[in-house]
Structure 1
Amino acid sequence: MDAKSLHFLAKFFESFGAEVAQLTAEKVGELIPQAQGERSQNLMDATEICQYLGISVSHFYKVKKKHGKKFPTVNIDGAIRFNPLHVEEYFSNHNNKDTNG
Structure 2
Amino acid sequence: MSHLSIHERRALAGIERGLTKEDPEFARALSQRMPEGGPARHRRQAAGYVLLVVAGAALFLAALAVHGVGAVLAVVLLVGVGPSCLWSAAEAFERHRREAR
Report the TM-score range of the alignment, normalised by the length of the smaller protein. Answer: 0.3 to 0.5
| Rg larger for | 1
Q: So what's the TM-score if we normalise by structure 2? A: 0.39
Q: Which has the higher helix share?
A: 2
Bigger relative contact order, structure 1 or 2 (CA pairs below 8 A, ≥6 apart): 2
Structure whose residues are more often strand by fraction: 1
Question: What TM-score does the superposition give when structure 1 sets the normalisation length?
Answer: 0.39
